[in-house]
Amino acid sequence: MDESNIVAWTPESMLEITLNEPDDFLKVRETLTRIGVSSRKENKLFQSCHILHKQGRYFIVHFKELFLLDGKKSNLEESDVARRNTIATLISDWGLITLVNGKAAEIMAPLRQIKIIPFKEKVNWELCPKYNIGKK
């Protein structure tokens, strides 16, 4: 693995958002379960991002950022941050969130790197989070 792509991460580099409606938290959380990287061989989707509610603020975070927040070892790469930014921008475009600082999400990944499962097709897929918020 190329060490030069590893991001020098701090909690301040998390992507802060605001919800457009108070009940959008659950909508965003569910939507994120259907966006990620798919397995080439089977209908498995690995969730890339989560919504985090911390001290009255909301963030869209890549699962590797959650490992870092927990003090665990993680190799958060520029491509992970770019994917997070693309996903956050998408759900912003869909009207579920507003990016607090749009400039922070400027570096984006191509959409072909991200799989989005339509809600009605969710039953045909195994949705695999790489991180479970609030579970030990």
Name the residue type at position 131: Y
Residue in 122, 131, 134, 136 with CA at minimum distance from that of residue 30:
122
Residue-level pLDDT at 136: 54
Residue-level pLDDT at 135: 58
How many CA atoms, within 13 angstroms, populate the side-chain half-sphere of residue 76? 25
- Cite the beta strand spans of 15-133 per DSSP E: 15-19, 35-38, 44-47, 49-54, 57-62, 97-99, 115-116, 126-129
Torsion of CA 108, 134, 53, 38, to 10 degrees: 20
Domains located in the chain, CATH noted: 21-129 (3.30.70.650)
pTM: 0.92
Show the CA angle centred on residue 111, arms to residues 69 and 28, nearest 5°. Answer: 50
Q: For the chain (length 136 residues), average pLDDT per consecutive 10?
A: 76 95 93 95 96 95 95 94 98 96 94 96 95 71
Interhelix angle for 78-93 vs 24-32, to 10°?
A: 130
Contact 77, 65 (CB under 8 A): no
Residue-level pLDDT at 22: 82
